[in-house]
Amino acid sequence: MTDPSTAATGAAVTTTASDSVTAAEHVETAGTTKPRSLASDAWHDLRRRPLFIISGALILFIVVMAAVPFLFTSVDPNFADLGRSRNGPSAEAWFGYDLQGRDIFARTIYGTRASLIVGICATVLTVLIGGTLGLLAGFYGGWIDGLMSRIADVFFGLPFVLGAIVILSSFRATGSTSVTEIMFLVIVSISLLSWPVCMRIMRSAAITAKQQDYVKAARALGANSSRIILRHMLPNAVAPVLVYATIALGAFIGAEASLSFLGLGLRDPVVSWGVMISGSRDYIRVAPHLLLFPAAFLTATVLAFVMLGDAVREALDPKMR
């Protein structure tokens, strides 16, 4: 006959052993689970932010308009009928007609493409110039850092509008009148006047990354400079530049509209929001719809990219979570 105290002791030992095995399994599972990277952690945080969802949906809609504008309208944006000049919105033309009798709704939809192309290309070129120089300045330091910083200071001292006027007026005086050349000049002028901001952001991030243990370990193991920069510093210094690029894209779209309004940027026959706004400046009082609709699309686009940049910044910055 089994002693009750002995049976209770055996059951307790069995329970303790099973609990130990379960705990060990949990520890083993936790030890083998791969930690999430900064990108995956940021993406997980972004998906829970209403600001990111709203701005992302709006940007997706804008990109679709730029890629396939014929899904939204079948009207030729350049078809003109002077008999409809400055007619207001109606069931036939939701946004009305411009000075030459062209459908403003169709031109607004098709104008998304040129404005977005200028913004994206200017952003990419700005990040390439500023990011590369900032990464090199932060890594090497010394006279290289000093030289690049002084060059950036020179460009910082140039007012954006004045610098754009000088660049665009000088090159246009040589007879550059084709659509491609004008668009290229606008992109280059925006990038040349904007890269110092990106350079300083990347330089600060590179200096911080350079002082980390993994960079010192890579240097101690004999890794060359290019490997340290590309494999260790760049992935850990690119986050603030991504935030800047997101916000700058919207700002560059607005800059293209400003230059076109001043008569320095894109112009007919290019269809862009800036060109449409420029053509409406003499008729704002008598025909406000010429300005209202392209300006509304421009404002919504710039706001969407700014909101997206704020959401990305909050997701990448641990202090703001």
Q: 319 Cβ partners below 8 Å, 6+ apart?
A: none
Q: Is residue 96 part of a domain?
A: yes
Whole-number Å distance between alpha carbons of 47 and 72 = 29
CB atoms within 10 A of CB 20: 10
The pLDDT value given to residue 313 = 84
Q: 278 Cβ partners below 8 Å, 6+ apart?
A: 260, 261, 262, 263, 267
pTM, two decimal places: 0.81
Q: Is residue 142 part of a domain?
A: yes
Q: Indicate which CATH number applies to the domain containing 258.
A: 1.10.3720.10
Q: Is residue 204 part of a domain?
A: yes
Residue with tokens 């689970």: 33
Please, what is the angle between helix 179-192 and helix 104-140, to 10°? 40
The pLDDT value given to residue 25 = 45
Q: What is the pLDDT along the chain (321 residues), one digit of tens a residue?
A: 445 444 444 444 344 444 444 444 444 444 445 555 556 666 677 777 888 889 999 999 999 999 999 999 999 998 888 988 888 888 888 999 998 999 999 999 999 999 999 999 999 999 999 999 999 999 898 899 999 999 999 988 888 888 888 888 887 655 556 778 888 889 999 999 999 999 999 999 999 888 888 888 888 888 887 888 888 888 888 889 999 999 999 999 999 998 888 888 888 788 899 999 988 888 888 889 999 999 999 999 999 999 998 888 887 765 555
Q: Is residue 206 part of a domain?
A: yes
Residue with tokens 């004045």: 162
Per the structure, the complete domain to which residue 205 belongs is given by 38-73+92-316
Q: Is residue 194 part of a domain?
A: yes
Across the chain, which distance is largest between two alpha carbons, in Å?
112
List C-alpha distances in Å: 305 to 57, 59, 187, 244, 293: 11, 7, 18, 10, 19
The pLDDT value given to residue 6 = 45
Phi, psi of 35 (to 5 degrees): -65, 150
Q: Closest Cα partner for 250 from 178, 313, 304?
A: 304
CB atoms within 10 A of CB 239: 18
Using alpha carbons only, give the angle 10, 15, 19 rounded to the nearest 5 degrees: 150
Q: Is residue 179 part of a domain?
A: yes
The pLDDT value given to residue 83 = 87
Q: Is residue 24 part of a domain?
A: no
Q: Is residue 23 part of a domain?
A: no
Domain count, the chain: 1
The pLDDT value given to residue 315 = 78
